[in-house]
């Protein structure tokens, strides 16, 4: 039976990518496995360079002063690297969810953080709007898509100071003017590849302005100067990310995938809205096209619904404990067919009930 | 033709491990790839727990107050995590090579570092001995095997303070009383798995003694309290490390592999010594059983030797630029046959010359 994997991340990747990855583990270059080649060998240096330039190309940031890095440590390490590299006196953060909140907590170790807006008191079911970004702050930090709560920023401010964005759960999923951002970071394990690497895209001219000494592994400048190979990179994760970016490019890039993502989102949200058994969690205008969060109106149907879901080969739709209910994560590689399968189960439940 | 991969890391892994890894990329659990499952799913939590306990078991450290972690960031990130978590006033470091030197450089950002001994002026061709470790320092840091220079500590001091050791290039290769150490770290990409994860083994009671605030991702206590899953772990690299540790256990553990490693080392070093065309780089008593470094006595033979090497399917023996010549890295998964192949080429060169 076909599996429909709605996991919130790590998550489904294109089948062709999985096949190429498995083949490379057996034989990547001249009889050697991808896992045993030197990271300084030409074939891998080419992979790294290809991945870095594909990332910039797909975001439309080539030749605009940006550098792409594939680092280790997950997006969680970026919470602290951003502060270490950019925070001199004070920064402004938009608190739109658990991850934004953690980013704030880590940055506070280094200096003063001001919450420019927050939806914490509403358990993050909406995106704050109408906030001002002070001109004398070091940077503004926001989270484009709130994986846990299923909200997404539909527009971004014209920030008078460098704008940093955690795009872990929606990078490469929709067209944006990415040149509005000065630093973008994203764990690979949603739209880009397996867990184990993090993409960081930086406008180089924002660096070098803080007075603290930055440890080498935490220093963006150091990584840039070494071509994202300051130390041994996570070879496999970078390779699979490169394959996924190639897949996306061949598909027609962000423009093409955005259409697919919108179709999937329209399908699930219209079912959530029209089906009286289900209720959406986040406010309509801020709904994420990546993570749809919803609950059952009648908890008595829980068992029936979940066994029907299981029977349909659907996996990974349990909501995060801080929201409850369900979360359907529909990243780039999830097919429209998978969403159709879920929606069918939801409407079947309605006929039964 | 069979490839003989002497790469210094990433490096050769057991063939059976590669095959299991490739299969898991296609189907790990119930039709889902290892790359698309949630890291919070039972199958992966089991992998992580299995890898952590195998590491302690193989080192003989079970039930002795140690915890094993599989982190991201490479051994280079440990250079700074060690200092952040343990350095309050002053620490002593043994400077035995490029990596030790880098560990010192990163720790200096946080406080005072004293070089207890150094072989830097001899381009690290020996291990300093007869040094004293001051009782009032926070910890003592050493590097068990110097990958670049081919030297290895054959004995360790009875340190009056916590002893921290970078075992990146010889962990699991020889029997030691590992309980002498309070913190051991090692990038996976030599004896343990692919690049992308780092094993850290810590005696828990040395933690919590510094006054600084430690960022979550840099905090060993935080990682321990979350079972090495504070954030999304590098799933694939941890899985392959687990497979490699299982392979080693089935082989008979460190005791069994040590015998193999000694055979390989004896073979290459006796060729280096007896063959008048080659000269060992490091002093005999400190020779590494993992990385044998040597040079050609007559540079005119370079081209001939290297083309013979290539013809024999041997790869990865170019020395690091700071030593020159050749380096044969003979990690656990490299077979005796591969060393025989190299030694044959060396002796063939002698007959020709
Ligand atoms: C928006 C966002 N930021 C940060 C993270 C943390 O990522 P990591 O586990 O790679 O540290 C996540 C993980 O799901 C996320 O969704
Ligand atoms: C002894 C030693 N320590 C540290 C490192 C750095 O490891 P990483 O590249 O994982 O940061 C190496 C890499 O070869 C090494 O051999
Ligand atoms: Mg969130
Ligand atoms: Mg409804
Ligand atoms: Mg060294
Ligand atoms: Mg000789």
What are the tens digits of pLDDT across the range B212-242? 999 999 999 999 999 999 999 999 999 999 9
How far apart are the CA of A160 and the nearest CA of chain B, in angstroms?
28
Looking at the predicted structure, is the pLDDT value of residue B353 above 90? no
The backbone region for B118, taken as left when phi is positive above 0, alpha when psi lies in -120 to 50, beta otherwise, is beta
Catalytic residue among A166, A170, A182, A286: A166
Is the fold of B15-251 the same as that of B253-352?
no
Which residues are registered as beta bridge partners of B248? none
How many angstroms is it from B167 CA to the middle of ligand 6?
Answer: 29
How many angstroms is it from A284 CA to the middle of ligand 4?
Answer: 12
Which residue, by CA, sits nearest to atom 16 of ligand 1?
A147
How many angstroms is it from B345 CA to the middle of ligand 6?
Answer: 14
Q: What pLDDT was estimated at residue A1?
A: 79
- Which atom of ligand 2 has the smallest separation from the CA of A232? 9
Q: Which residues on chain A are in Cβ contact (under 8 Å) with B212?
A: none
Please list, residue by residue across A265-288, b when 16 or more beta carbons sit within 10 angstroms of its beta carbon and e when fewer do: bebbbebbeebebbebbbeeebbb
Q: What share of chain A is helix, strand, coil (3-state, %, to 5)?
A: 40, 20, 40
Q: For B107-123, what is the mean pLDDT?
A: 96
Distance, in Å, from the CA atom of B229 to the CA atom of A36, rounded to the nearest integer, reads 26
Q: Which residues on chain B are in Cβ contact (under 8 Å) with A219?
A: none
Long-range CB contacts for residues B251-258, cutoff 8 Å, separation at least 24? B253/B58, B254/B58, B254/B59, B254/B172, B254/B173, B254/B174, B254/B175, B255/B175, B257/B172, B257/B173, B257/B332, B258/B173, B258/B174, B258/B175
User: Are residues B26 and A25, on separate chains, in Cβ contact within 8 Å?
Assistant: no
- Using CB distances shorter than 6 Å, the residues near ligand 2 are A 231-232; B 9, 74-76, 99, 143, 147, 166, 168-169, 187
Q: Cα dist. A14→A5, A25, A171, A260, B148 in Å?
A: 12, 17, 16, 14, 39
Distance, in Å, from the CA atom of B38 to the CA atom of A72, rounded to the nearest integer, reads 19
How many angstroms is it from A318 CA to the middle of ligand 3?
Answer: 15
How far apart are the CA of A274 and the nearest CA of chain B, in angstroms?
30
Return the DSSP state at A38: -
The yes/no answer on whether domain A253-352 falls in CATH 3.30.465.10 is no
Q: For A29-57, what is the mean pLDDT?
A: 97
- For residue A173, count other CB atoms closer than 10 A to its CB: 26
Q: What pLDDT was estimated at residue A111?
A: 87
Catalytic residue among B67, B190, B203, B264: B190
- The answer to whether the annotation marks A197 as part of a ligand binding site is no
Q: What pLDDT was estimated at residue A213?
A: 96
Nearest to B137 by CA among B169, B167, B111: B111
Are B85 and B219 in contact, with CB atoms under 8 Å apart? Answer: yes
- The answer to whether the annotation marks B144 as part of a ligand binding site is no
Q: What is the mean pLDDT of chain B?
A: 97
Q: Which residues on chain A are in Cβ contact (under 8 Å) with B1?
A: 31
Q: For B119-135, what is the mean pLDDT?
A: 98
Q: For A143-159, what is the mean pLDDT?
A: 98
Looking at the predicted structure, is the pLDDT value of residue B1 above 90? no
- Which atom of ligand 2 has the smallest separation from the CA of B79? 4
Q: For A187-192, what is the mean pLDDT?
A: 98
If you search the block for the tokens 């057991």, which residue do you land on?
B14
How far apart are the CA of B323 and the nearest CA of chain A, in angstroms?
17
Tens digit of each residue's pLDDT (9 = 90 or more) over A226-238: 999 999 999 999 9
Q: For B19-43, what is the mean pLDDT?
A: 97
Tens digit of each residue's pLDDT (9 = 90 or more) over B245-304: 999 999 999 999 999 999 999 999 999 999 999 999 999 999 999 999 999 999 999 999
User: Which of A10, A31, A106 lies closest to B235 in CB terms?
Assistant: A10
ipTM of the prediction:
0.98
How far apart are the CA of B12 and the nearest CA of chain A, in angstroms?
5
Are B233 and B41 in contact, with CB atoms under 8 Å apart? Answer: no
- Which atom of ligand 1 has the smallest separation from the CA of A189? 10
CATH of B15-251, one of 3.40.50.720, 3.90.1150.10, 3.40.640.10, 3.30.200.20: 3.40.640.10
A247 is catalytic: no
User: Are residues B213 and A39, on separate chains, in Cβ contact within 8 Å?
Assistant: no
Which residue, by CA, sits nearest to atom 2 of ligand 2?
B168
Nearest to B82 by CA among B104, B52, B55: B104
Q: Which residue of A has its CA nearest to B39?
A: A10
Choosing from B147, B186, B196, B331 the residue with most ligand 2 atoms within 8 A of its CB, the one to mutate for a pocket test is: B147
| Nearest ligand atom owner, CA of A276 | 4
Q: What pLDDT was estimated at residue A11?
A: 96
User: Are residues A10 and B237, on separate chains, in Cβ contact within 8 Å?
Assistant: no
The band of A353, judged by pLDDT with boundaries at 50, 70 and 90, is confident
Q: For B303-328, what is the mean pLDDT?
A: 97
User: Are residues A196 and B234, on separate chains, in Cβ contact within 8 Å?
Assistant: yes
Q: Cα dist. B88→A6, B49, B85, B108, B163 in Å?
A: 46, 32, 9, 12, 15
User: Which of B26, B76, B215 lies closest to A80 in CB terms?
Assistant: B215
Looking at the predicted structure, is the pLDDT value of residue A265 above 90? yes
| Nearest ligand atom owner, CA of A346 | 4
* Run of H or E residues at A280: strand A278-280
CA angle, corner B19, sides to B16 and B20, nearest 5? Answer: 85
> In chain B, what percentage of residues exceed pLDDT 90?
98
Distance, in Å, from the CA atom of A25 to the CA atom of A39, rounded to the nearest integer, reads 15
A99 is catalytic: yes
Nearest to B118 by CA among B136, B141, B87: B141
Nearest to A99 by CA among A122, A132, A74, A121: A74
* Run of H or E residues at A49: helix A42-59
Q: Which residues on chain B are in Cβ contact (under 8 Å) with A231?
A: 74-76
User: Are residues A38 and B10, on separate chains, in Cβ contact within 8 Å?
Assistant: yes
How far apart are the CA of B207 and the nearest CA of chain A, in angstroms?
19
Label the pairing between strands B291-296 and B326-329.
antiparallel
Are A54 and A242 in contact, with CB atoms under 8 Å apart? Answer: yes
B99 is catalytic: yes
Q: Which residues on chain B are in Cβ contact (under 8 Å) with A79?
A: 215, 217
- Which atom of ligand 2 has the smallest separation from the CA of B77? 11
Chain A with chain B: Cβ pairs closer than 8 A: 180
How many angstroms is it from A95 CA to the middle of ligand 3?
Answer: 10
Q: What is the mean pLDDT of chain A?
A: 97
Q: For B109-118, what is the mean pLDDT?
A: 95
Q: Which residue of A has its CA nearest to B34?
A: A194
Q: Which residues on chain B are in Cβ contact (under 8 Å) with A213?
A: 109
For chain B, the C-alpha Rg in angstroms (whole number) is 21
User: Are residues A194 and B235, on separate chains, in Cβ contact within 8 Å?
Assistant: yes
Q: For B339-348, what is the mean pLDDT?
A: 98
Looking at the predicted structure, is the pLDDT value of residue B111 above 90? no
How many angstroms is it from B270 CA to the middle of ligand 6?
Answer: 8
The domain limits of chain A are 15-251, 253-352
Are B92 and B118 in contact, with CB atoms under 8 Å apart? Answer: no
The band of A2, judged by pLDDT with boundaries at 50, 70 and 90, is confident
């Amino acid at each position: 039976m076909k599996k429909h994997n709605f996991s919130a991340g790590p998550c489904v990747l294109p089948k062709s990518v999985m096949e190429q990855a498995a083949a490379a583990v057996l034989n990547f270059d001249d009889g050697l496995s991808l896992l045993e080649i030197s990271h300084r060998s030409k074939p891998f240096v080419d992979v790294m360079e290809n991945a870095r330039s594909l990332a910039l190309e797909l975001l439309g940031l080539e030749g605009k002063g940006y550098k792409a890095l594939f680092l280790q440590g997950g997006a969680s390490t970026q919470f602290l690297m951003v502060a270490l590299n950019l925070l001199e006196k004070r920064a402004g953060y938009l608190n739109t969810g658990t991850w934004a909140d953690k980013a704030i907590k880590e940055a506070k170790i280094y200096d003063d953080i001001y919450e420019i807006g927050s939806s914490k008191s509403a358990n993050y079911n909406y995106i704050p709007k109408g906030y001002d970004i002070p001109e004398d702050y070091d940077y503004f930090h926001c989270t484009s898509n709130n994986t846990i709560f299923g909200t997404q920023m539909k527009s971004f401010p014209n920030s008078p100071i460098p704008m940093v964005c955690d795009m872990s759960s929606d990078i490469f999923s929709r067209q944006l003017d990415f040149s509005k951002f000065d630093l973008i970071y994203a764990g690979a394990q949603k739209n880009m590849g397996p867990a184990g690497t993090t993409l960081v895209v930086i406008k180089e001219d924002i660096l070098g302005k803080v007075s603290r000494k930055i440890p080498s592994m935490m220093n963006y400048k150091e990584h840039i100067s070494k071509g994202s190979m300051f130390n041994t990179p996570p070879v496999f994760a970078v390779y699979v990310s490169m394959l996924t970016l190639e897949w996306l490019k061949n598909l027609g890039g962000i423009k093409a995938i955005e259409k697919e993502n919108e179709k999937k989102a329209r399908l699930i949200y219209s079912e959530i809205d029209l089906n009286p058994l289900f209720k959406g969690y986040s406010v309509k205008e801020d709904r994420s096209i990546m993570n749809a969060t919803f609950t059952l109106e009648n908890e008595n149907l829980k068992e029936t619904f979940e066994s029907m879901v299981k029977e349909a080969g659907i996996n990974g739709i349990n909501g995060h404990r801080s929201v409850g209910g369900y979360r359907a994560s529909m990243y780039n590689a999830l097919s429209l067919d998978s969403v159709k399968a879920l929606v069918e189960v939801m409407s079947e439940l309605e006929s039964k009930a």
